[in-house]
């Protein structure tokens, strides 16, 4: 059963935390967008979040998203972002139904998305997924330390030239840490990668999508412009519902 009052109470707490993290770091809270992560959650949860004023949504599994797509489309200015690892054979669903693609994690999927968007005559806003924790289990370009690998720069240049992709920012999913403070170094590293690309490669990266339920206040202190919150907003996920 969906308990609307719990979601509203969670939202209030999260907004208060966003506000204090912004104040603490001298940032304007309006510079931080809250994305609701609704993977495994039913359409009713999406509708509840829409009536609470949320306009930014993240989903991980294209087939599941399509099943509840009409919920996202009830409000014209709601934005739907793909944030999970995208298999090539599912890329068409993202090109057809999503407003942005945050989990661009390899050159091959960038080229695939480019050709799908060219066919559809649309531009896809994308974020480059950086594996700043250098974790074998996760996708994205690996960063073992503060050094920026040549292979990443080479791929970045190729992606920049793809006319139907528009690189908005960097996206990271650092290791899970109960104490978000432990991930501060990864948020700083991401900010530094963006600064490097802007200063030395002529890029225009304005978005840092970083911070989840366990570490979003630290991410905001280090410059996150989009935080992606699932559990703290809509409760734990039940993967038994997933095919």
Ligand X SMILES: *Cc1c(COP(=O)(O)O)cnc(C)c1O
For ligand X, the binding residues (CB under 6 A) are 37, 39, 60, 83-84, 173, 212-214, 228-232
Structure tokens at 97: 């139904």
Residue whose CB is less far from ligand X, 51 or 231? 231
- Taking the least distance from each CB to ligand X, the nearer of 39 and 68 is 39
CB of 25 to ligand X, least distance (A): 20
Give the residue with the Cβ less far from ligand X, 164 or 172.
172
Residue owning tokens 């519902």 = 241
Residue 237 CB, nearest approach to ligand X (Å): 7
- Determine the angle formed by the axes of helices 150-160 and 107-120, rounding to 10 degrees: 0
CB 155 within 8 A of CB 163: no
Where would I find the beta strands (DSSP E) of the chain?
33-37, 56-59, 79-82, 100-104, 124-131, 141-142, 165-171, 207-209, 226-229
Q: CB–CB of 136/160 below 8 Å?
A: no
Residue 150 or 178 with smaller CB distance to ligand X: 178
Q: Which is nearer to ligand X, 172 or 203 (CB)?
A: 172
Tell the smallest beta-carbon distance from residue 56 to ligand X (Å): 12
Find the shortest distance in angstroms from Cβ 176 to ligand X.
8
CA distance linking residue 237 with residue 83, whole number of Å: 16
Residue 119: CB minimum distance to ligand X, A: 27
Q: Is the dihedral of CA 188, 22, 5, 78 positive or negative?
A: negative
In this chain, which residue has its C-beta nearest to ligand X? 230
The smaller minimum CB distance to ligand X, of residues 41 and 164, is found at: 41
Phi and psi, residue 185, nearest 5°: -60, -30
CB of 214 to ligand X, least distance (A): 6
Angle subtended at Cα 8 by Cα 7 and Cα 13, rounded to the nearest 5 degrees: 95
């Amino acid at each position: 059963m969906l308990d609307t009052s719990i979601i509203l109470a969670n939202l209030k707490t999260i907004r208060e935390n966003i506000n204090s993290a912004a104040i603490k770091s001298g940032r304007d809270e309006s510079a931080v967008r809250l994305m609701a992560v609704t993977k495994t959650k039913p359409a009713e949860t999406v509708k509840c979040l829409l009536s609470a004023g949320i306009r930014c949504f993240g989903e991980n599994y294209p087939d599941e998203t399509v099943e509840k797509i009409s919920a996202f489309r009830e409000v014209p200015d709601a934005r739907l972002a793909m944030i999970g690892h995208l298999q090539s054979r599912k890329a068409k669903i993202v090109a057809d139904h999503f407003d942005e693609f945050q989990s661009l994690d390899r050159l091959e999927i960038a080229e695939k998305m480019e050709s799908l968007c060219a066919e559809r005559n649309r531009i896809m806003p994308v974020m480059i997924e950086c594996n700043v924790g250098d974790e074998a289990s996760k996708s994205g370009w690996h960063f073992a330390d503060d050094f920026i690998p040549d292979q990443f720069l080479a791929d970045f240049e190729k992606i920049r030239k793809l006319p139907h992709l528009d690189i908005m920012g960097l996206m990271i999913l650092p290791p899970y840490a109960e104490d978000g403070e432990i991930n501060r170094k990864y948020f700083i590293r991401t900010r530094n990668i963006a600064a490097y690309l802007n200063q030395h490669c002529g890029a225009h990266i304005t978005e840092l999508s970083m911070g989840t339920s366990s570490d979003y206040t630290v991410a905001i202190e280090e410059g996150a412009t989009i935080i992606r919150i699932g559990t703290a907003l809509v409760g734990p996920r039940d993967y038994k519902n997933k095919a």
